[in-house]
Structure 1
Amino acid sequence: MVDPSQAVDGREPRRGGTVLEVGPLPGRPGIRARGEISEVTRSPWEAALAGLARQHADVSYVELSEVGFVDVAGVAALAVTALGLPGGRMVVEHPPPQVPRVLGLFWPGLRRLEMAPR
């Protein structure tokens, strides 16, 4: 789990009760996130994506079924990470609806990032 503080029980309450938990995906290369990705939780989100990029081989997975919200900067971090991969692709599974919309607006031709819808 990625957490920038010494949070109790692996959760970090932030301003307004915003929480983000990020950990490895069991059985395949990738990460699973839970909570919200916003200005308040951006640092652990970007740290998790950087770690994913360092371990990237051919396909990496980002599982977001338990993420309720991702702001534009959080989607941008995802896109920038995919653009920086040496090859292969990143598959985003079960993204909140705003993720494919923002990607379509700002990165319409980004083929290294695939959506596996909810």
Structure 2
Amino acid sequence: MDASRGAGGFGPAHGAAVLEVGPLSGRPGIRARGEISELTRPPWEAALAGLAREHADVSYVELSEVGFVDVAGVAALAVTALGLPGGRMVVEHPPPQVPRVLGLFWPGLGRIEVAP
């Protein structure tokens, strides 16, 4: 899923954020690449909704190729985890602001595990 593309559909438009989200290979979850911000929030929230629909016991969110997540993007992650019917969400390799924002606004949220 691409949030924004430049001329011809290749690369970001000047000043525009890009987010690509797809399934993980070999385990339940999603992998994101790019930036999670106001411009890319709709595809981020859609990907999280799909993850929640398919959630069994553990779902993975791989963020090693995400450069930035704004507070609302972290909030969407936390709200999704809180809405899971059970189990947990493992957030792998997030940008540094993700654990800080989770710790500030959702301390002790046991449904999310942050794996460096």
Give the TM-score of the pair, scaled to structure 1.
0.90
Aligned-partner Cα distance in 2 for 1:102–1:14: 29
Q: Superposed, which structure 2 residues align to 1:1-118 within 5 Å?
A: 2-3=1-2, 8=9, 13=12, 16-117=15-116
Q: Matched residue of 1:108: which SS?
A: coil
Residue pair 1:14, 1:40 contacting (<8 A) in 2 also: no
The C-alpha deviation readout for 1:42-75, integer Å capped at 9, x for no partner, is: 0000000000000000000000000000000000
Q: Matched residue of 1:51: which SS?
A: helix
Identify unmatched segments of 5+ residues in structure 1: none
More helix by share: 1
Q: Matched residue of 2:39: which SS?
A: helix
- Matched length: 114
Shift of 1:17: 2.8
Identify unmatched segments of 5+ residues in structure 2: none
- Give me the CA root mean square deviation: 1.8
Residue pair 1:23, 1:32 contacting (<8 A) in 2 also: yes
Residue pair 2:62, 2:92 contacting (<8 A) in 1 also: yes
Residue pair 2:59, 2:90 contacting (<8 A) in 1 also: yes
Shift of 1:8: 3.2
Q: Matched residue of 1:85: which SS?
A: coil
Instruction: Report % sequence identity.
Output: 84
